[in-house]
C-alpha cells in the first residue's frame, strides 16, 4: 500500500493541466517507475497523483510534415525501441531506449518521465541532447518550446513548473538528424538492471568526402550536476580530419569539460577515465555508421 491520498486519470492534456491547477502539490505520473520509488522511499507522502498514461495525444512517434520527428512524452521506452521511425532515422535512440532498467521497466517507463525527473543518469537524455532535440511544454498560456539542452538545471531539477506545466512532445528537428550518425555508450557495473555510471552519446555529420568532421555533438551523463554537452570540444573539432590526433583531442576536450564528482557509487577518477574512453568509443561507433574511417 502506497501513501496516496487521491489519484486522477486525465484523458487530455488540457484536463491534466486543469487537474494540476486544481490540486496543489499534485504529482504528474505516467509509467510510475520513478514516482512509485519516491513513494516507497517516503520522499513523497499523502500524494495526489495525476496519471497521464491514458492521454492518447501524448503517445506515439510521428514524422511531422516538415520532417521533424515528434515523440509523445508518454511513449514508453519499449515503443521507442520498436519504432520503425526511430530505428530508421535516429537508431542510436532505439539503442539507448533499450538500455533503460529492464524489459519490465521499459514496458511502462516513458521518455517524458525520464527527462522530467531530472536524473543526471537518464539513459534517454544523452542521445536526445546530441540530436539537439527540443521540448514542447504545455501550460496555461499555451505551448512553449525549449531546447533539451538547458532544460536540466541541477540534480533532479528541470526547467518545468511542476504545478502548471506538462511536457508533451520531444522533437528531433529534421535538420538535426538528417545526415547525422550517432552512437550511445552506457557504462554500468552490471550489464542489465543498471543506472549509468557514465553515459556518452556522440552525433556527427561528415564532410561530403567523408574525410573530416562537418558537425559534431557530444553529450555526457553523470559527469556533472546535469547531463551536459561538450560544446567547446564540438567547436574545436568541427572540420577536423578523421585522424588519431582528432580522437586524442576529443578525449582531451571531453575531459576538460566534464566535472564528475566522487560518490560512493563511483570515484571521480573512474568517471574521468570513462568520460574520455566512452567518448572515443561512441565517436568511433558513430563514425563507422557514418562510413568514415580513421586514417
Partner 1 sequence: MIKIVHMHVNGTDVELGVDEGESLTDTLRNRLGLTSVKKGCEAGECGACTILLDGKSVNSCIYLTVWADGHTILTVEGLQRNPGELHPVQQAFVDEAAVQCGFCTPGLIMTGVEIANSGETYTREELRELISGHLCRCTGYENILNALEKVVGKK
Partner 2 sequence: MGIGQGVQKTDAVQKVMGTAKFVEDMIPQNALHAKVFHSTVANGLVKSIDCSEAWKIPGVKAIITCFDVPNVPYITAGHPLSFDPNHDDVRDRLILSRRVRFFGDEIAAVAAVDPLTALKAVEAIRVEYEEYEPVFTPEDAIHAAHPVNPAYPTNELARLDFSISDSTVTWGKAAFSTEQNIAGREDLQSDHFSVPAVHAAHIENNACYAYMEGERMVVVTCNQVPFTTRRNIASALGIPLGRVKVIKPFLGGGFGNKQDTLYEPIAALLSQKLGGAPVALVMTREETFTCSRTRHAMDFYTALELDENNKMKKRAVRINSNGGAYAAHAHAIAAYAVTNYFQTYSADVVQIGESSTMYTNLPSAAAMRGYGIPQLAFAIESQMDDLAKQRGIDPIAFRKINMMKKGFLDPFDHFVVESYGLEACMDKGAEAVNWEKKRKEYDAFNQSSPIIKKGIGMAIFSYKTGVYPLQVENGACRIILNEDGTAQIQVGATDLGQGSDTVFAQIVSEILTIPESKLSVISAQDTDVTPYDAGAYASRQTYVSGGAVKKAALILKDKILARTAEVKHCAAEPLMLENEQIVQHAGEPPIASIAEIAAFVQYCNDHVLQTEQLTAEATYTCMSNTFAFGACFADVEVDVPLGKVRVNKIVAVHDSGTIINPKLAAAQVHGGVAMGVGYALSEQLQYDKKTGRMLNDNFLDYKIPTSMDVPEMETYFVETYEPSGPFGNKALGEPPLIPQAPAIRNAVLHATGIAINKLPLTPQRLVEAFISAGLIRAED
102 binds partner 1 (CB under 8 A): yes
Spell out a b/e string for 137-153, using b for 16 or more CB atoms within 10 Å of the CB, else e.
bbeeeeeeeeebbebbe
Question: Minimum distance from CB of 2 to partner 2 (Å)?
Answer: 8
Is 244 in contact with 275 (CB distance < 8 Å)?
no
What residue ranges bind partner 2 (CB under 8 A)?
1-3, 42, 187, 189-195, 197, 248, 251-252, 255, 264-267, 269-270, 273-274, 276-277
Q: Which of residues 73 and 202 has its CB atom nearest to partner 1 in the complex?
A: 73
- Could you tell which of partner 2, partner 1, none binds residue 105, using a CB distance below 5 to 8 A set by kind? partner 1
Binding track over 57-86 against partner 1, x by CB under 8 A: ---------------------x--------
Rg (CA), the chain: 19
Q: Give residues with Cβ within 8 angstroms of 219, minimum separation 6.
A: 125, 126, 127, 129, 130, 200, 201, 202, 203, 227, 228, 229, 230
The answer to whether 158 and 123 are in contact (CB under 8 A) is: no
CB of 33 to partner 2, least distance (A): 12
The continuous run of DSSP H or E covering 167 comes out as strand 166-172
SS3 130: helix
By CB under 8 A, tell whether 145 contacts partner 1.
no
CA dist., res. 91 & res. 104, Å (int): 21
CA 166 to chain centre: 17
Name every residue whose Cβ is closer than 8 Å to that of residue 107 and which is 6 or more positions away in sequence: 76, 78
Report which DSSP code applies to 65. T
> Looking at 25, 67, 103, 179, which residue binds partner 1 (CB under 8 A)?
103
Residue 140 contact partner, candidates partner 1, partner 2, none, CB within 5 to 8 A by sort of partner = none
CB of 267 to partner 2, least distance (A): 5
Among partner 1, partner 2, none, the one that 168 touches (CB under a kind-dependent 5 to 8 A) is: none
User: Binding residue for partner 1 (CB under 8 A) from 84, 141, 192, 291?
Assistant: 192
Pairing outcome for strands 157-158 and 142-147? unpaired
- Output the smallest distance, CB 71 to partner 1, in A: 19
Strand duo 27-29 + 142-147: pairing: unpaired
Handedness of CA 117, 120, 123, 124 (dihedral sign): positive
Instruction: Mark residues 9-28: x for contact with partner 1 by CB under 8 A, - for none.
Output: x-------------------
**Sites for partner 1 among residues 194-233 (CB under 8 A):** none
Q: Quick one: what does residue 266 bind among partner 2, partner 1, none, with the CB cut-off 5 to 8 Å set by partner type?
A: partner 2
Q: Of partner 1, partner 2, none, which one sits near residue 197, judging by CB under 5 to 8 A according to partner kind?
A: partner 2
Minimum gap (Å) between residue 6 Cβ and partner 1: 6
Positions in the binding site for partner 1 (CB under 8 A): 1-7, 9, 32-33, 36-37, 40, 49, 51, 53, 78, 101-105, 107-108, 191-193
Amino acid at each position: 500500500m502506497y501513501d496516496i491520498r487521491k489519484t486522477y486519470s486525465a484523458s487530455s492534456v488540457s484536463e491534466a493541466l486543469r487537474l494540476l491547477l486544481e490540486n496543489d502539490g499534485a504529482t504528474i505520473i505516467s509509467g510510475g517507475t520513478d514516482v512509485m520509488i519516491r513513494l516507497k522511499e517516503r520522499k513523497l507522502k499523502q500524494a495526489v497523483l495525476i496519471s497521464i498514461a491514458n492521454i492518447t495525444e501524448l503517445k506515439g512517434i510521428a514524422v511531422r510534415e516538415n520532417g521533424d520527428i515528434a515523440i509523445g512524452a508518454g511513449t514508453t521506452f519499449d515503443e521507442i525501441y520498436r519504432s520503425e521511425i526511430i530505428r530508421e532515422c535516429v537508431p542510436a535512440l532505439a539503442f539507448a531506449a533499450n538500455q533503460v532498467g529492464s524489459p519490465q521497466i521499459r514496458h511502462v517507463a516513458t521518455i517524458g518521465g525520464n527527462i522530467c525527473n531530472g536524473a543526471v543518469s537518464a539513459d534517454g537524455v544523452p542521445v536526445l541532447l546530441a540530436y539537439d532535440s527540443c521540448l514542447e511544454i504545455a501550460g496555461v498560456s499555451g505551448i512553449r518550446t525549449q531546447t533539451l539542452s538547458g532544460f536540466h538545471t541541477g540534480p533532479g531539477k528541470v526547467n518545468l513548473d511542476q504545478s502548471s506545466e506538462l511536457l508533451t512532445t520531444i522533437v528531433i528537428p529534421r535538420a538535426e538528424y538528417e545526415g547525422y550518425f550517432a552512437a550511445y555508450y552506457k557504462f554500468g557495473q552490471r550489464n542489465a538492471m543498471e543506472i549509468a555510471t557514465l553515459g556518452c552519446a556522440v552525433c556527427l555529420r561528415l564532410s561530403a568526402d567523408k574525410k573530416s568532421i562537418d558537425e559534431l555533438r557530444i553529450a555526457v551523463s553523470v559527469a556533472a550536476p546535469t547531463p551536459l554537452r561538450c560544446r567547446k570540444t564540438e567547436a574545436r573539432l568541427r572540420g577536423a580530419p578523421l585522424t588519431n590526433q582528432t580522437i586524442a583531442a576529443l578525449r582531451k576536450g571531453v575531459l576538460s569539460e566534464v566535472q564528475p564528482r566522487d560518490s560512493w557509487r563511483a570515484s571521480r577518477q573512474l568517471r574521468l577515465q570513462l568520460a574520455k574512453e566512452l567518448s572515443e568509443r561512441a565517436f568511433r561507433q558513430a563514425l563507422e555508421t557514418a562510413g568514415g574511417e580513421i586514417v
